[in-house]
Structure 1
Amino acid sequence: MRDRAQALMIDLDGVLRRWDPAPMIAVEVGYGLKPASLLETAMSWDIYRPAMAGEITDAEWMKLVADRLPLEPERAAAAVAEWQSYRGDVDPEVLAFVREVRAGGRKVAIATNATDRLRPDLDTLGLTAEVDLVLSSWELKVHKPAPEYFEQACAQLRVLPKHVLFVDDDDRVIRGARSAGLSGYRWAGPEHVPYLRKVLDLPV
């Protein structure tokens, strides 16, 4: 049997924060870009990786995105700024679960690949005070699923990996967490909360 989880690490995007594609697609359509082209450009590995690893700032990353758009420079910069103005929404069911975990005496940390824009985003979303710790790849200078990310994360949380439940919506990241000794659980929606309560020894 695995050791009982004493702390929860939870991913931000795709778990605690949801993204409605409609406002982002509206920006692309308004500037004559194909839907999802901004996201696809931003996720290009050669510029996404340094942004997540703390090698460049969010502003520098977005400048690189704008430079790659098939638009005049001023329009490209405006399109990126408008696209970035939407910062997602908190999933109320997941937030309720986070509060329940903390009320049950377990530490909760947001564990996410992010840029230096993360903490302002958490303030805007009202999440800063909802967790005990924020574990940002930009600050750790290494991104999930690297083992070093999870090693540093557990050290900062001050909980042994075998006592940490890690929840993420990315299979590759879950595999990385498990290889680092954490209990990894693949998130697909709030229907998983009852099971996670059991793992954390919380009332069902």
Structure 2
Amino acid sequence: MTDFESIEAVLLDWDGVLHHWNGEGERAGEQAEGLPAGAVAEAAYGTVAYEYAKLGIYTDAEWRDCVAQALEQRFDGRGREAVRVWTADRGRVVDGAAELLARLRERFAVALLSDNTDILIADLEMFRVESAFDHIFVSAHIGMTKPAPALYRHAATVMGVPAARVLVIDDLPVNLPGAHSVGMRVKHWPAWASLSSFVHEHLIQEEKRAGLA
């Protein structure tokens, strides 16, 4: 038996796997108000407010308001327009994402698991991929973030698939030990790599080979 032959479900991360940011909104927002490069990211990420937003304690809007307030305090009242411009940038999905997910669902249960704020569902709808998954797990809705083993156990239970038959694909290695600890298969996925190539070579083609065995 090869590495992925017994897989019944694929649990995909969002940012860095199916979706990418290029920082265009951050840069445009900073330029609009004459803020130094990196000011938005410094005020937004690695903060208590961001952790609260990922856990659903704060809404996405409340978190972004905290970012605006932090910028205003630091830059003499400037920052709210930068946050508006930054928020309007929703990044991009990888090319052919909907088609790739449809191919996966011919063989596997396919779920999304993302450490994200409550804005994610609206983003999925905007990109027209909200119906491309059998299950969608958002940390802000569940109240747990990666790499908590309980989060992965919850996903397996809801999917109705034994943990040992779930493959987790994530771009952050730090997230994978939690999944591995509950018995899931794990695959680190570098943001620059082709997910389509991996799926066709190791999942779809492997299923074809198994059928011929």
State if a TM-score over 0.5 links the two structures: yes
Structure 1 length normalisation: TM-score? 0.89
| Greater alpha carbon shift after TM alignment, 138-147 vs 186-195 | 186-195
Match of 1:89 among 92, 102, 105: 92
**Partner amino acid for 2:45?**
M
- The alignment partner of 1:128 has SS state of coil
Q: Which amino acid aligns with 1:150?
A: Y
Cα displacement (A) at 1:192: 3.1
Letter in 1 for 2:82: A
Query: Aligned residue for 2:53?
Result: 51
Which whole-Å CA distance do the structure 2 matches of 1:123 and 1:145 have between them? 26
Structure 2 CA distance for aligned equivalents of residues 200 and 35 of structure 1: 46
Match of 2:105 in 1: 102
| Alpha-carbon separation, structure 2, partners of 1:202 and 1:101 | 13
Match of 1:201 in 2: 207
Does the 8 Å contact 1:27/1:83 carry over to 2? yes
The Cα offsets for residues 68-117 of structure 1, whole Å up to 9 and x where unpaired, read as 112344x422211111101111102444332211122x111110011111
Q: Mean alpha-carbon deviation: is it higher for 32-41 or for 10-19?
A: 32-41
CA separation of 1:111/1:203 partners in 2, compared to 1, >3 Å: closer, same or farther? farther
* Cα distance in 1 between the residues matched to 2:45 and 2:85: 17
Note if contact 1:101-1:202 (Cα within 8 Å) is conserved in structure 2: no
1:66·1:80 contact (CA, 8 Å) conserved in 2? yes
Residue 177 to residue 78, structure 1, CA distance change in 2 (3 Å): same
Local SS of the residue matching 1:64: helix
SS of residue in 2 equivalent to 1:130: coil
Letter in 2 for 1:38: V
In structure 2, the gaps of 5 or more residues are none
Give the Cα separation in 1 of the matches to 2:206 and 2:49.
37
Displacement of 1:198 in angstroms is: 5.8
Question: Is the Cα contact below 8 Å between 2:25 and 2:89 reproduced in 1?
Answer: yes
**CA gap 1:40/1:160 in 2 versus in 1, 3 angstroms:** farther
Give 2:207's aligned amino acid. D
Gap runs ≥5 in structure 1: none
Q: Rate the CA distance shift 1:203–1:103 in 2: closer, same or farther, 3 A.
A: farther
Q: Which has the larger radius of gyration?
A: 2
Letter in 1 for 2:101: V
Q: 1:199 to 1:5 in 2, by over 3 A?
A: farther
SS of 1:84's equivalent in the other structure is helix
Partner of 1:38: 40
The yes-or-no answer on 1:185 pairing with 2:187 is yes
C-alpha distance in 1, partners of 2:208/2:82? 46
- The TM-score, its normalising length taken from structure 2, stands at 0.86
Q: Over residues 35-85 of structure 1, what are the superposed CA-to-partner deviations in whole Å (9 max), with x where a residue is unaligned?
A: 232123211242221111111111111111111112344x42221111110
Residues 1:77 and 2:77 aligned together:
no
Offset, 1:23: 3.5
